[in-house]
Amino acid sequence: MIPYSHQFIDKEDADAVLAALKSDWLTQGPKVKEFELALAKYCGAKYAVAISNGTAALQAVYFTINIKKGDEIITSPLTFAATTNAAIWQGAKPVFVDINKDGNIDSDLIEKKITQKTKAIVVVDYAGLPCDFDVLKKIAKKHKLILIEDAAHSLGAEYKSAKVGSIADLTIFSFHPIKSITTGEGGAVMTNNKDFYEKLLLFRNHGITKDQNKFLNKSHGPWYYEMQELGLNYRLTDIQAALGISQLKKLPDFLKKRDMIAKNYNKELGKTEGLVLPKHSFKDRKSSRHLYPILLTGKLQSKRKDVFEFLQKNKIGVQVHYIPVYWHPYYQKLGYKKGICPKAEEWYKSEISIPIYPSLKKESQKKVIKNLKEILNGKIKN
């Protein structure tokens, strides 16, 4: 079976984890700090806060901007449900805006959805392609909204030579095994804002501070600490951080390999009738190639399920990204109606994600291409 995504772990990674395991720290300690500094440096951001996973990182972000019941966030439905689930946990109502032809939020449609209740714009770099940040920042500034980037797909991607993680007010990453780098489970929040940074640190650790310079009341003695916010335990462990540090060193190479695979797919599949491929190059941005989404359009659209099943039967791992979030029964129950974002729905009906990951061999790519061409050409004729 060729999976649609897979982590890459080598001896160096294993040794790093083993060393952490034998150290004095198992939970959050010096390795977490080192990982945060390495992430901040890599992204060109002032602060990084490691969090137990990407979903918790999202919740931490919503907590940090003080989302309350009655607040709204504007976001795209073409994402993993965690983007909005975490906002709902903090009391917000997601307002969905349709996508553009790259699968990212259509920034031209945002302003119409802004109300007195809107607190933030939450964008997702679909498949690893950064959104239109110049436009998004202008809208956020004009309406005094916070710009949040769900960059679970886009660690290593660039917008006008700025690395993702240094662009939005708050950016989250996920280090789940299918993402750019992995820590098993893991996540992080990046920001340049000191107040946000301090609040994130509190939230991740029960709302507790041991820093006497930050105490609100007078210290009772050397044992004293204060719980100042309603936080949780969302810490990453040093074992995971050691893996993260080791993985981050390989990220430039991972990105190169992903890009080469995408280039090869574009070259080999480019002439297939009805098949829409991700663009290979953009003048102002660079994708991290987290996914390689192909769209089956025209006559092919109704054959999507057959194509998916054919590839699976031939041991090629495929996925569909994504079922529009508001189509899920939970969101339907909340009252979201189908049809509100027709382009995202059309995307869902057309899309298949084919295998892409750093260790995907040339031979496996050939197999994917050969099988795809075979089934698609057959379906075009029928």
Q: Under the rule (CB under 6 A), what is the footprint of ligand PLP?
A: 53-55, 79-80, 82-83, 124, 150, 152-153, 174, 176, 187
CB 53 within 8 A of CB 179: no
Task: Give the amino acid at 172.
Answer: I
Query: Smallest Cα–Cα separation from 173: which of 193, 189, 197, 191?
Result: 189
CB atoms within 10 A of CB 86: 24
Residue 79 Cβ vs ligand PLP, minimum distance, rounded to whole Å: 5
- Rounded Cα gap, residues 142 and 25, in angstroms: 46
Beta carbon nearer to ligand PLP, 83 or 192: 83
Position of tokens 């009805």? 274
Q: How far is the CB of 249 from ligand PLP (least distance, A)?
A: 21
- Asked if residue 317 lies in contact with residue 292, where contact means CB atoms within 8 angstroms, the answer is no
Nearer to ligand PLP among residue 83 and residue 237 (C-beta): 83
Q: Which two tokens stand for residue 217?
A: 């009341």
Place of tokens 């750019």: 180
Cα separation, 359 vs 296, in Å, equals 26
Sheet of 47-51, strands arranged across: 47-51, 187-191, 170-174, 146-150, 118-124, 72-75, 93-96
- 135 by DSSP, 3-state: which? helix
How many C-beta neighbours within 10 Å does residue 85 have? 17
User: For ligand PLP, which is the closer residue by CB, 187 or 278?
Assistant: 187
Q: Closest distance between ligand PLP and the C-beta of residue 138, in Å?
A: 24
For ligand PLP, which residue has the nearest CB? 54
SS3 268: helix
Q: C-beta of 223: minimal distance to ligand PLP in Å? A: 35
Q: Which residue has the tokens 């996914």?
A: 291
Q: Which is nearer to ligand PLP, 55 or 118 (CB)?
A: 55
Rg (CA), the chain: 22
Q: Which of residues 71 and 150 has its CB atom nearest to ligand PLP in the complex?
A: 150
Q: How far is the CB of 299 from ligand PLP (least distance, A)?
A: 31
Shortest distance (Å) from residue 57 CB to ligand PLP = 7
The smaller minimum CB distance to ligand PLP, of residues 54 and 358, is found at 54
Cβ proximity to ligand PLP, 42 vs 234, nearer residue:
234
Q: Tell the smallest beta-carbon distance from residue 188 to ligand PLP (Å).
A: 10
